[in-house]
Amino acid sequence: MYSIGIIGGTGYTGKALLQCLAVHPFTTEIKIYAKNSAGEKLHKLFPDLVGLVDNLQIESSENVSLEHDLYFIALPSTQALQFVPDLISNDKFVVDLGGDYRLDFEELYMQWYNFTHNSPHLLKEKVYGLADHPSTNYENVKLIANPGCYPTAILLSLLPLLPEFADKISTISCLAMSGTSGAGKEVRTDLLLSEMYSNVKAYNVNNHRHEPEILQQLYKNGFHSPFSFTPHLLPISKGIYVTNSVHLTEEIAKQDFDDLYNNLYQDCHFVRLRNNPPELQWIVDSNFCDINISVKGKKLIITAAIDNLMKGAAGQAIQNMNKLFGIDETVGLLNRENKYVSV
């Protein structure tokens, strides 16, 4: 049984964490730490959690207790740096849902995030927690860097190709789309309903912080061809949809790709290989990643869909906690009828 602290538990991701932990049988205590809402009752912020989560008083993030076994950190960029080094030095387990520890080299943080990293030694010690990829190793780990939402969908849909076919890929172009909740709860004019309704737009073109994270993992698995990643906002609240256009140097039979994906994900409960391109309505409010493969000549189209707040954030974080502690990975994410926990 584990005591859990959530630092930054009053945003969209924090709420999703609470909903999963509320039905998790291995948690004995949950405390929420925040800055602006410290001292308030949880049900004032989230009235819909009445009857599901106790009406906890939100604690100040300036006084985070060291009493917990594991800490989820759901804060904007740079803010996890205030907490992670001290927690790790006190032998605590940490799952950071932000980007502060995802990259391997401190120089990349100045280039992409415009800050100097205060604990670069932890960049080498952390594990990049792509929970559904069999290569993710949880032995002797204290710090898990939870992948971003776009990288989760893109990497799960592309990594199976690389061990065998990396040298047969000439280019990959990734068109990725997200709901507006991926930007958090901060009030912004460009995300207002009147701005986004019936609208679609590209953003952070050639300058999205998830790009080095994606490339880092692709390079580690043998990919070194040209790659492009263009994110778009959809007029919806939740969901990530990715279309990867992979151009090959020679024709390869679809069965060869099917075999690769089936073999890699055969024991992964939350990756579902589809016969048709997935739809967002199949995965929203769940921890599933749905993937489809289409082949025509030297062109390979791989589509994938996830919920950005679940598989792209809180759901994968719970899955990482389960694997870290040797618990069935579905605990807190599937109910007794083997249906997903809806958030």
Residue 319, phi then psi, degrees to nearest 5:
-60, -40
**Facing residues of 241 across strands?**
177, 305
Between CA 261 and CA 134 the distance in angstroms is: 12
Cβ neighbourhood burial of 3 (10 Å; 0-12, 13-18, 19+): middle
Among candidate residues 253, 261, 249, the one with its CA nearest the CA of residue 166 = 249
8 Å CB contact between 12 and 323? no
3-state helix, strand, coil split of the chain in percent (to 5) is 35, 25, 45
**Facing residues of 306 across strands?**
240
**Facing residues of 291 across strands?**
273, 304
The alpha carbon torsion through 175, 17, 27, 63 (nearest 10 deg) reads 120
Between CA 127 and CA 234 the distance in angstroms is: 31
User: Residue 218 CA to chain centroid, in angstroms?
Assistant: 16
Which among 149, 174, 268, 289 is annotated as catalytic? 149
Single-letter amino acid code for the residue at 48: D
Encoded tokens for 312:
């792209």
Between CA 33 and CA 35 the distance in angstroms is: 7
Degrees to nearest 5, angle at CA 69 with 14 and 64: 60
Q: Residue 289 catalytic?
A: no
Residue spans of alpha helices (H) in 42-104: 42-45, 84-89
| Residues tagged active-site | 149
